[in-house]
């Protein structure tokens, strides 16, 4: 069926997730209420926030103010990278509920695979308990590489019935210069939904020589081609903008289709993250070590000094 602004994907939890999401990272809290309300009025039904974005309260307020019933809205938050442990995750979920006043959070993620094995699995257990308590509907991870996913799946297999939780989502940086075939394949084999963050490559590639001719061919903006690429790959896309006109522009992704030739041209095979890359962080070590190692490795891979495996 043709994609449209209200298209959704079914999560492994059984809930539906809107394919178009509105990201609020780096959205100042003073403007978050206004821009989020504008996004909902422009047709978005899904907002991606996080504890570390420091705008949960105004973002949720903006969502609710737009006048759309709560059950038609989808809100995500995340346990901060520095708080990946059982106790911190529990506290964090309660804080999100209090700040947002949404009654429940649609999707709660572990923001990064830090905290060591005990921290990661402890924080996951807190998410599972939050689902049982009706505080959260679906749970998932963010920035998990294949080795982190394997660790979680191994642990899940050892749990008694009902205690393992269901991984609904992995939210990672995804765009034509970072298609991450290994992680995508791991998730797709298990029907885990991929959420593409930084889908506009943070506006750093709008004049790219591969992208521009495709935009011209379809009479669309380069930003719309990038977002359409994500949708046609089957990803949930999370564009961010604090500019009213761009918030609207980023919803106009329907009524045209990238053909095989366009998709092949955009299949660059490159490894060029535009932000951090915790998917490469090692399983063990403290958060600081994992952070530094993950960053150093992503730079080495980016500049071709090491291959990305």
Ligand X SMILES: NC(=O)c1ccc[n+]([C@@H]2O[C@H](COP(=O)([O-])OP(=O)(O)OC[C@H]3O[C@@H](n4cnc5c(N)ncnc54)[C@H](OP(=O)(O)O)[C@@H]3O)[C@@H](O)[C@H]2O)c1
Positions marked catalytic: 53
Reduced to 3 states (helix: H, G, I; strand: E, B; else coil), residue 166 is: coil
Find the part of the chain contacting ligand X (CB under 6 A) among 199-207, 228-236, 257-265, 295-303: 199-207
* Token duo for residue 305: 């000094």
Residues 40-79 that bind ligand X (CB under 6 A): 48
CB of 114 to ligand X, least distance (A): 11
Comparing CB distances to ligand X, the nearer of 35 and 154 is 35
Distances (CA, A) of 4 to 205, 225, 234, 273: 25, 15, 13, 28
Find the part of the chain contacting ligand X (CB under 6 A) among 91-99, 155-163, 183-191, 242-250: 242-250
- Please work out the total of residues on this chain that contact ligand X, with binding judged by CB under 6 A: 29
Q: Is 197 in the site for ligand X (CB under 6 A)?
A: yes
Cβ neighbourhood burial of 175 (10 Å; 0-12, 13-18, 19+): buried
Residues 84-123 that bind ligand X (CB under 6 A): 111
The answer to whether 111 is annotated as binding is: yes
One of 66, 242, 265, 289 touching ligand X (CB under 6 A): 242
- The phi and psi torsions of 94 (rounded to 5 degrees) equal -60, -40
d(CA 171, CA 165): 17
Distances (CA, A) of 181 to 162, 168, 185, 268, 308: 30, 18, 6, 12, 11
Q: Is 250 in the site for ligand X (CB under 6 A)?
A: yes
* Token duo for residue 78: 């995340």
User: Is the separation of the CB atoms in 156 and 164 below 8 Å?
Assistant: yes
Q: Is 243 in the site for ligand X (CB under 6 A)?
A: yes
- The b/e string for 185-220 (b: 16+ C-beta within 10 A; e otherwise) is ebbeeeebbbbbbbbbbeeebeebeebeebbeebeb
Q: Is 241 in the site for ligand X (CB under 6 A)?
A: yes
Residues 121, 52, 72, CA angle at the centre, nearest 5°?
A: 85
One of 46, 228, 240, 308 touching ligand X (CB under 6 A): 240
CB of 267 to ligand X, least distance (A): 19
Find the part of the chain contacting ligand X (CB under 6 A) among 3-11, 20-28, 118-126, 209-217: 20-28
Find the part of the chain contacting ligand X (CB under 6 A) among 19-27, 55-63, 155-163, 182-190: 19-27
One of 107, 128, 200, 266 touching ligand X (CB under 6 A): 200
One of 12, 15, 25, 282 touching ligand X (CB under 6 A): 25
d(CA 92, CA 99): 10
One of 142, 170, 279, 290 touching ligand X (CB under 6 A): 142
- Helix, strand, coil percentages (3-state) for the chain, rounded to 5, are 45, 15, 40
Binding site for substrate: which residues? Answer: 111
Which residues contact ligand X (rule: CB under 6 A)?
A: 23-26, 48, 111, 142-143, 171, 197-203, 206, 221, 223, 238-243, 246, 249-250, 275
Binding site: which residues? Answer: 111
């Amino acid at each position: 069926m043709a994609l449209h602004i209200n298209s959704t994907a079914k999560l492994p939890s059984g809930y539906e997730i809107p394919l178009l999401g509105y990201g609020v990272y780096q959205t100042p809290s003073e403007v978050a209420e206004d821009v989020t309300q504008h996004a909902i009025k422009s047709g978005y039904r899904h907002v991606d926030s996080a504890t570390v974005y420091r705008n949960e309260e105004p973002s949720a307020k903006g969502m609710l103010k737009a006048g759309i019933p709560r059950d038609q809205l989808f809100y995500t938050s995340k346990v901060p990278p520095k708080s990946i442990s059982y106790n911190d995750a529990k506290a964090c979920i309660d804080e999100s509920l209090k700040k947002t006043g949404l009654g429940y959070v649609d999707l709660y993620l572990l923001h990064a695979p830090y905290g060591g094995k005990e921290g990661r699995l402890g924080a996951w257990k807190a998410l599972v308990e939050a689902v049982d308590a009706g505080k959260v509907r679906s749970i998932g991870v963010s920035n998990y590489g294949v080795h982190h996913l394997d660790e979680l799946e191994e642990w899940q297999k050892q749990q008694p019935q009902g205690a393992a939780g269901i991984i609904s989502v992995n939210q990672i940086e995804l765009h034509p210069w970072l298609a991450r075939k290994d992680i995508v394949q791991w998730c797709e084999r298990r029907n885990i939904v991929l959420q593409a963050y930084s889908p506009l490559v943070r506006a750093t590639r709008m004049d790219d020589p591969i992208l521009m001719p495709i935009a011209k061919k379809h009479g669309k903006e380069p930003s719309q081609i990038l977002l359409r690429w994500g949708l046609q790959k089957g990803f949930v896309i999370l564009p961010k903008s604090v500019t009213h006109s761009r918030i609207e522009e980023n919803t106009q992704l329907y009524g045209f289709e990238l053909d095989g030739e366009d998709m092949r041209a955009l299949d660059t095979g490159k490894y060029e993250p535009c932000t951090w890359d915790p998917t490469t962080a090692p399983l063990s070590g403290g958060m600081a070590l994992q952070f530094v190692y993950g960053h150093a490795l992503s730079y080495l891979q980016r500049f071709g000094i090491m291959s990305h495996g």
